[in-house]
Amino acid sequence: MGFSISVEIHESGFTAFSTIVPGAYSGLGAHYFNTKLTLIGRVTTDNTLTTKMKAVITDKLTVKAQTQLIDESRLFDTLVSFEYMALNYKAQFQLGSKGLTAATYIQVSLATDFVYNCFSRDVKASVGRDCEISRFWSRVQGKIDSNGVAYACLEKQLKMGLECVLSASLDHKNKDYRLGLGLAYGSPPLSSDDLQR
């Protein structure tokens, strides 16, 4: 269990002296944490209040919440999420203050998500797959969303420390087609344990 309070002074711009320049702000933050509950709060002189909370309800269920309030413009943003983690899958449900509703389901190498904004009535869903081929030291990832956009990525370990990445996205509706090729040197080679994750 722990608790802390911090005082911060931030300056906008650089100065050789330790004077506070116009546009600078200061903040006060407080933190409380133990194994089941974490609370973080921060307020600044520019009238911004930020809070975060994480509560571990059970060993499989976690609730997270965060909010930010900016006084001058009366802007606020709030997000609450519920996460359930089982042995071979993870499910998450989110509610946001600006009409956001989202659900995500991940099972080993298959993922789906659904996002709905009740104010704009915008709906988006996607499904993706991650496949590792240990015999060829490679990984294939693919995703398609409800707008008809398809994404694919192939990662291949060529030699010790050299990796090739080929990626593509196809958006027929907007006539946006992208293809990318990258080489990375110095990245650690994938072990058999990495490929079995």
In terms of residue numbers, what domain contains 33?
Answer: 1-74
| Average pLDDT of the residues in 173-190 | 80
Looking at residue 30, its pLDDT comes to 85
Collapsing DSSP to helix, strand or coil, 135 comes out as: helix
Comparing C-alpha atoms, which of 167, 163, 162, 164 is closest to residue 180? 167
Within a domain: residue 65? yes
**Domain-embedded: residue 53:** yes
pLDDT of amino acid 24? 58
Q: Is residue 59 part of a domain?
A: yes
Which one is predicted more confidently, 174 or 76?
174
What per-residue confidence (pLDDT) applies to 17? 39
Q: In Å, how far are 3, 65, 70, 95, 159 from 50, measured between CA atoms?
A: 17, 11, 9, 18, 47
The answer to whether residue 36 sits within a structural domain is: yes
Instruction: State yes or no: pLDDT of 63 exceeds 90.
Output: yes
Domain count, the chain: 1
Q: Is the pTM of this model over 0.75?
A: no
Q: Name the band, by pLDDT with cuts 50, 70 and 90, for residue 189.
A: very low
What integer best gives the mean pLDDT of the chain? 81
The yes-or-no verdict on residue 19 having pLDDT over 60 is no
Residue 2 resides in a domain: yes
Apex 160 CA angle, 156 and 165, nearest 5: 25
Considering the domain boundaries, does residue 128 fall inside one? Answer: no
Of the chain, the end-to-end C-alpha distance in Å amounts to: 32
pLDDT range class, residue 127, cuts 50, 70, 90: very high
- pLDDT tens sequence across 24-42: 567 788 888 888 999 999 8
Query: What's the pLDDT at 7?
Result: 56
pLDDT score at 9: 52
18, part of any domain: yes
**How far apart are the C-alpha atoms of 153 and 182, rounded to whole Å?**
11
